Amino acid sequence: MDTHSTHLLVELWEANREKLDSVTGVREILVAAAEKARVTVLHSAFHRFSPVGVSGVVVIAESHITIHTWPEAGYAAADIFTCGDKAMPQLAAEHMAQGLESRRMEVTRVTRGVSRSQRAKPSLKPPHRASSIQA
């Protein structure tokens, strides 16, 4: 079994503050981003904080897409975690940046899971020790 997956850590700066504070708008953008990424949306949950800010998750068959917004700073942090090789998470990130009118986006890609070729290799660190993430 190949458990290879891609996890994008998406930083969105200088975004539209009103859009960052709209639970309806953020939900629509994330669901559309999932569709752009060619993944299957199962359900979603979003919450608007007081006085400002939105957090949400779109659960997809391939894993999840999450976001947390700080409208007062024009900033959002999103995670796009997809399994398999058919999903196109970069397209989801680009759609989020466009939808939230972000002027600056930074994406860190993390490959997660174990591929068939890696399973045969011995572990270099004991399982109880944390290892660094490579981008």
Specify whether 22 is catalytic. Answer: no
Specify the pLDDT at position 99: 98
Give the architecture-level CATH label for domain 5-116.
Answer: 4-Layer Sandwich (3.60)
What does the domain layout of the chain look like in residue ranges? 5-116
79 φ, ψ to 5°?
Answer: -120, 135
Specify whether 68 is catalytic. Answer: yes
Specify the pLDDT at position 125: 52
Counting as low any pLDDT under 50, the low residues of the chain are: 1, 119-120, 122-123, 127-135
Active-site choice (5, 22, 63, 102)? 63
- What DSSP assignment string belongs to 45-75? EEEE-SSS-EEEEEEETTEEEEEEEEGGGTE
Q: Does an H or E element contain 121, and which?
A: none
d(CA 94, CA 8): 11
Specify whether 95 is catalytic. Answer: no
pTM of the model: 0.82
Cβ–Cβ < 8 Å for 9, 108: yes
pLDDT in tens, 96-118: 999 999 999 999 999 888 665 55
